[in-house]
Structure 1
Amino acid sequence: MGLLSRTVESVLKQREGSRRHFWGWLNAVFNRVDHERIKAIGPDRAAAEWLLRCGAKVRFEGFERWHHDYNGLPTGPLGRYKIQAIDATESCIMYKGFDYLDGLKYVEEMKFNKCIYIEDVCLERLSSIENLQASLYMMEVVSCGNVTDKGLVALHQLKNLEYLFLSDLPGVKDRHATVERLQKALPRLDVELDLD
């Protein structure tokens, strides 16, 4: 009986591993940047398509409602709809797709909640985008297990950041020093912590 149970266990583990591999591959495909598409339809529409394809939501400037349906994205003249807020809760966005954020000029809010692919390099990349340095004023990073102090400290480049909510980040080891560094670089920044 022991041999049978070990065999069944082995088969189930292999199935689970191949399932994870498939989803990892599919998520990487969803995050591949299409520079020709960005040129053809503009940065906001291309970024919205990427975000929705990966399971995130966007809110456009002048609208109260969040868009989460890829097929329900508004149409209109090139450049009419500008992304004002991004909610990436439980999405599969990852570093390789962050080139889509380069042309966004109106993003004021970003939420990363339970994003398994968000890591320090993502926050560093995000913080290096000049347009976002000027426009982003509110951010949440919650339950992103790959984010450490290093990624959070990189947010100091977001010179207009006024509110930062941090919660359930097991990779953050020295929260007091990290918050102190952020607030020294950004005196107007209000940091709300729930890291216990």
Structure 2
Amino acid sequence: MQHCGRQGVRNLWGMINFVFNKVDYSRIKELGPDQAAAEWLVRCGAVVKFKNMDKWSTDYNCLPRGTSGQFFIEEVDATDSSIMHVGFDYFIGVNHLRSLKLHHCTYLKNTCLGRLDILKDSLEELQLSSCGDVTDAGVVSLHKLINLKHLFLCDLPGIKDMDSILKTLGTALPQCEIRYLSLEGNIDLKKLGIDKESFR
């Protein structure tokens, strides 16, 4: 009974987060892809860094505003965010995103990873860790990220054959440094201090 209660709460939050992720195409047209994507990401709990800016944008109400094409997202840290596949159209037209951290993203599934090819021309660094719904097929789909230089994988309980995945990705992305950390037991990745700096 307790399990059903937790599942019901998760489903409720899933519906709420679906609304947060729903793409507003009129907003993209009004603001341009980068500013609209920044709104989506921050609304879902991620933080963004714009090109030529030192500080991360964490507050929806304090995002930089300007004409379309004035600001470009360069880095995204989506740790603990509620981003899901229905929002990934926001990445269309985001052409300067170099680094993406996907850590403990509750609603991240294979469909999300499959859509990252939207960013294949710019994305150079990717961290995928502690995302429990991701399976082998999702991680293998990262082979489309042709400009990837650094890939860090860790704590992915849905993976069945990591050796095969690493071989496939290594063949498809010979220029990419791929690091995989296998965690034994229930270890909190945050306590290990692991972030993208650790795999540069």
Q: TM-score, normalised on structure 2?
A: 0.87
Residue aligned with 2:126, SS: strand
Residue aligned with 1:47, SS: helix
Letter of the 2:132 partner, please give it.
G
2:41 to 7, 32, 51: 51
- Spell out the pairing of 1:1-196 with structure 2 (5 A cutoff): 16=6, 18-127=8-117, 129=118, 132-196=119-183
Q: Percent identity between the aligned chains? A: 46
1:18 Cα deviation from its structure 2 partner: 4.9
Measured against aligned partners, the alpha-carbon deviations of 1:12-57 in whole angstroms (never above 9, x if no partner) come to 7776555434322210110010111111110001000000000001
- In structure 1, stretches of 5+ residues that fail to align are 1-9
Residue aligned with 2:120, SS: helix
CA contact (8 A) 2:31 2:67 kept: no
Q: How many equivalent residue pairs?
A: 183
Describe the shift of the 1:15–1:152 C-alpha distance in structure 2 as closer, same or farther (beyond 3 A): closer
Describe the shift of the 1:181–1:77 C-alpha distance in structure 2 as closer, same or farther (beyond 3 A): same
1:148 Cα deviation from its structure 2 partner: 1.2
Tell me the C-alpha RMSD between the 2 structures: 1.5
C-alpha distance in structure 2 between counterparts of 1:108 and 1:152, whole Å = 19
C-alpha distance in structure 1 between counterparts of 2:4 and 2:170, whole Å = 47
C-alpha distance in structure 2 between counterparts of 1:146 and 1:168, whole Å = 11
Q: TM-score, normalised on structure 1?
A: 0.88
Describe the shift of the 1:76–1:154 C-alpha distance in structure 2 as closer, same or farther (beyond 3 A): same
